[in-house]
Amino acid sequence: MPIENFSLVNDEGWMDMPLDVLPSYLWAEGGQLADAPVNFEKTFGGNMWVSTRVDREFNINGLRCSPDFAVPRHHHNLDEMIIVFAGQFHVTWGRDGEEGSRTVGPGEFWISRAGTPYLMTAGPEGVSYTETWPEPMAELLTYWHDEGWVRR
């Protein structure tokens, strides 16, 4: 079996993020994201790409965001680790008086604990990163909050 070597910081191996709303995408106030007052396609379209080289069987996604794009506030039912390879993210997180923020750059990572809402805004040059979870992605639920969206 050959060894595969590829880079997440060059322009090869990326595709537009699929713009279909998954059943595992839930609106934080209850119900499916597809029924929420926000537009997934207009929010993410042209702003986010997925690596075609990273094998999701390893519970990892390779992702890229356009400059200054804000991934809307959301949280997961599982802990998540994000590793930045190029560019940077400014992250704000928390609720109930436990808010915080920081900038995460190349070679740095951060861990979001399950249930902690956060918003990530790419820096002026965009950002390339991976996200991974300790459980199979089939177990992952994402709860989206009402911040950072293009409204319907």
Q: In this predicted structure, what is the pLDDT of residue 77?
A: 96
| Predicted model pTM | 0.91
The rounded Cα 131 to chain-centroid distance in angstroms is 7
pLDDT at 105: 98
Q: What do you get for the CA distance between the two ends of the chain, in Å?
A: 48
Burial of 83 (0-12, 13-18, 19+ CB in 10 A): middle
User: Which pLDDT score is estimated for 95?
Assistant: 78
Residue ranges of the chain with per-residue pLDDT less than 50: none
CATH 3.30.70.1140 at 23-144, yes or no: no
pLDDT at position 134 is 95
Domain extents for the chain?
A: 23-144
Tens digit of pLDDT for each residue in 53-65? Answer: 888 788 899 999 9
Burial environment of residue 135 by CB neighbours within 10 A (0 to 12, 13 to 18, 19 or more): exposed
